[in-house]
Structure 1
Amino acid sequence: MFKLEGCSRVFNMNNLGFVGGRFMANAEGVKEHRKKRLKRIRLGLFFIIMALILFGVKNYYDYLMEPVASENIKRIEIEIPSGSTTKTIAGILKKNDLIKNREFFVLISKINKNDGHFKAGKYSLNNGMALKEIIDSLIKGGASSRETVSITIPEGYEIKQIAEKLSELENFNKENFIRLVSSDDNYRDEYEFLKQVPKGLGLEGYLFPNTYEIYVDSTEDDIIRKMLDEFNKIYIKYIKGQELYKDFTLNDLIAMASIIERETRLDEERAVVSSVFYNRLEIDMKLGSCATVQYVLGERKSHLSIADTKIESPYNTYINKGLPIGPIASPGLKSIQAALNPDDTDYLYFVLTDYDKGKHTFTDNYNEFLRAKNAAKNQ
């Protein structure tokens, strides 16, 4: 024991040893804490990496399950020889651009126990079929190779025009088709996008325009579901999760796209036309779309009368501000994309000035618009 000068406290060397022991214990505790913390960090990183891997695998799985094409659907005739293995069938499908990956087809077939159940024969398929549809067709055999007919529904067609076009099919019942599409009640629970459409509007705008391969004995319901399936592909790939203009709903977006579709036939003008209508919405100006009045009239008039533009209807954008209550036709993908991404312009007016080419003149000045309009009339 010793005493420090100027300090009344007496220190015992044994006490120093005790304190040192406690310091050593604390150091060991800190070391152990760091080890546990490092372990937690490594575990967290492991789960993050696994989540990213699973996310990537899921996305790749979904990609491989999707059709090869979403536009310009082509009918493809193939023949599966008798005794073909799943691997051979996968090669035939890949060679004809009907699937994206041969090994994935073989793997999915084995997982779902379809291996060995595919039937030989001639098949009429198309590159817009999802992988599951192709597998189901090959399992059904004769059903998939039954007679089909190709029919094209142009962009901008209204339901009644679609019905007229489908009337070219031998067994098509136009009245039943109109009855089914006049209400979404039969399909709302099956399609996520239809749950966002106000009840009572029917399916106008949601029967996607495309070229379809349809079995000659298809029912009207079969055809409607095929067209809704096609819209659903577009919805999932291009629309779902996108930020829409202000308080736009899906129904507003498709209504806007349908107006764009009907106002111009040139792809290079769609985003410009889109900008005109969005600019009008921004300043609370009526859209004044001739296409909406034509929809009310039920006919395509090249020039509207003053009386035409005053017809009372929730679809008439000459007398009502904002969008019509629903789509006026079935827009194609280019018009949907234009409604999602309008050009950045100051234009408020446009007028058709080249009838042969379908070109419009755009301006932000009303007097310029009138001059262009008068000049076009005198051509």
Structure 2
Amino acid sequence: MIFLCIALTAGSLILWMVSFIKTSVGITPYQPVTFTISPGEHLPTIAQNLKDQDLISNLIAFKLYARIKKATTRIKAGEYEMNTGMNPEAILSLLISGKHKVYRFTVPEGLNMEEIALLAQEAGLCSRQQFLALCNELEWINQFEIPGTTLEGYLFPNTYFFSKETDCKTLIKKMLSTFNKTFNEKWKIRAKEIGLSVHEIVILASIIEKETGNKKERSIISSVFHNRLKRHMRLESDPTVIYGVSDYCGRIRYKHLRRVTPYNTYQIDGLPVGPIANPGAQSLKAALYPAQTDYLYFVSKNDTTHQFSTNLEDHNKAVKKYQLNQ
């Protein structure tokens, strides 16, 4: 009789536990909940927080279930995305998995390091100062075999997904890794074929990125710069001037054009000393595969497109028409 009572009691407990772990709190419609476990938090605190956020209904049952599953030391700290429709079994499984809530971080093409640093700060990934410090830390840069003195040009534009726990180094490493995957062996061979290093391609692509308003013109703009380089003509690209000055306020002035900086392609021969932005895949491709043209000049038509010319006389006419309204 005693054994029968024990068996019935044990059976009841098992049924109760199964019912508990399979049943959500029942709040409808289901509400999204961001649940955070801080480093060092123990099971009693975690269980209490789950109950306080209406994710479980019974503290004792959840703690007992976690111990049965030997999960007390396997639960991982972090931020989790849950909802009130999840049952305790699913909740504990998620906490053991460490599949943290992820945040989307989008870096558009053509931003420079300063602008990306601000985006990272706004996204809560790291401070602007920390981001820029890493981008300018030579010892760290050299680990990635980047020939420049900064990471400008190699912070690949893309949409990334990170957890709240992501640190600044992880963020930057992911961007550099994406660049390396994109700039594949085929592209490296192509760079050698046209007599340019990978770094020179990145510099040129960054200029193309900043000059391009209409994506259909990307390879044509590239051809202009390639043609000028072959003829030992200065590139005379306004975005390179802007990058090299600190007092630009939305309009290039004569003093900016005359100022000698390592980036001002009105004043220096060849390419600037480094990239002026972080180009996307299409601008890198355009730098490697320019259109076949004889163009040497282009001017904005104020509608995202450009008027291209093969000689200075035609270019000056285009400038008068589109920029001076003459």
Aligning the two structures, in what range does the TM-score lie when normalised by the shorter sequence?
Answer: 0.5 to 0.7
Is residue 294–residue 301 contact of structure 1 (8 Å, CA) maintained in 2? Answer: no
> Partner residue of 2:225?
277
Question: Which of 138, 161, 164 pairs up with 2:115?
Answer: 161
What is the SS of the residue equivalent to 1:208?
coil
Compare CA radii of gyration and give the structure with the larger one. 1
Q: CA distance change for structure 1 residues 303 and 244 in 2, over 3 Å: closer, same or farther? A: farther
Is residue 152–residue 212 contact of structure 1 (8 Å, CA) maintained in 2? Answer: yes
Q: CA distance change for structure 1 residues 217 and 376 in 2, over 3 Å: closer, same or farther? A: same
Q: How does 1:83-94 map to 2 (within 5 A)?
A: none
> Partner residue of 2:76?
none
C-alpha distance in 2, partners of 1:176/1:157? 18
Question: Which of 142, 147, 159 pairs up with 1:198?
Answer: 147
Q: CA distance change for structure 1 residues 279 and 169 in 2, over 3 Å: closer, same or farther? A: same
What is the SS of the residue equivalent to 2:314?
helix
How far off is 1:260 after superposition? 0.2
Question: Which stretches in structure 2 are left out of the alignment for 5+ residues?
Answer: 1-79, 82-92
> Partner residue of 1:142?
97
C-alpha distance in 2, partners of 1:367/1:303? 25
How far off is 1:265 after superposition? 2.5
1:230 aligns with 2:167: no
C-alpha distance in 2, partners of 1:361/1:302? 22
> Partner residue of 1:177?
131
Identical aligned residues as a percent: 34
C-alpha distance in 2, partners of 1:272/1:176? 38
How far off is 1:306 after superposition? 1.7
How far off is 1:299 after superposition? 7.1
Q: CA distance change for structure 1 residues 243 and 255 in 2, over 3 Å: closer, same or farther? A: closer
Q: CA distance change for structure 1 residues 245 and 139 in 2, over 3 Å: closer, same or farther? A: farther
Question: Which of 264, 284, 297 pairs up with 1:349?
Answer: 297
How far off is 1:139 after superposition? 12
Q: Which structure has the higher relative contact order (CA within 8 Å, separation 6+)?
A: 2
Q: How does 1:247-266 map to 2 (within 5 A)?
A: 247-266=195-214
How far off is 1:236 after superposition? 2.2
> Partner residue of 2:306?
360
Q: CA distance change for structure 1 residues 288 and 140 in 2, over 3 Å: closer, same or farther? A: farther
What is the SS of the residue equivalent to 2:118?
helix
How far off is 1:302 after superposition? 5.6
Q: Aligned AA for 2:216? A: E
| TM score, norm. by length of structure 1 | 0.58
How far off is 1:176 after superposition? 1.1
What is the SS of the residue equivalent to 2:115?
helix
Q: CA distance change for structure 1 residues 376 and 304 in 2, over 3 Å: closer, same or farther? A: same
Q: CA distance change for structure 1 residues 248 and 363 in 2, over 3 Å: closer, same or farther? A: same
C-alpha distance in 2, partners of 1:281/1:274? 11
C-alpha distance in 1, partners of 2:321/2:129? 45
> Partner residue of 1:297?
245
> Partner residue of 1:377?
323
Q: Aligned AA for 2:202? A: I
Is residue 220–residue 293 contact of structure 2 (8 Å, CA) maintained in 1? Answer: yes
Q: Aligned AA for 2:182? A: I
Is residue 184–residue 203 contact of structure 1 (8 Å, CA) maintained in 2? Answer: no
What is the SS of the residue equivalent to 1:214?
strand
> Partner residue of 2:270?
322
Instruction: Give CA deviations for 1:109-148 in whole Å, capped at 9, x if unaligned.
Output: xxxxxxxxxxxxxx99xxxxxxxxxxxxx999633x2121
Q: Aligned AA for 1:369? A: H
> Partner residue of 1:188?
142
Q: Aligned AA for 2:321? A: A
Q: CA distance change for structure 1 residues 147 and 238 in 2, over 3 Å: closer, same or farther? A: farther
C-alpha distance in 2, partners of 1:360/1:211? 29
Is residue 191–residue 198 contact of structure 2 (8 Å, CA) maintained in 1? Answer: no
Task: Give the paired residue count.
Answer: 237
C-alpha distance in 2, partners of 1:350/1:224? 35
Is residue 244–residue 340 contact of structure 1 (8 Å, CA) maintained in 2? Answer: no
C-alpha distance in 1, partners of 2:213/2:321? 21
What is the SS of the residue equivalent to 1:244?
helix
What is the SS of the residue equivalent to 1:213?
strand
What is the SS of the residue equivalent to 2:283?
helix
How far off is 1:325 after superposition? 1.1
Is residue 240–residue 276 contact of structure 2 (8 Å, CA) maintained in 1? Answer: yes
C-alpha distance in 2, partners of 1:177/1:314? 24
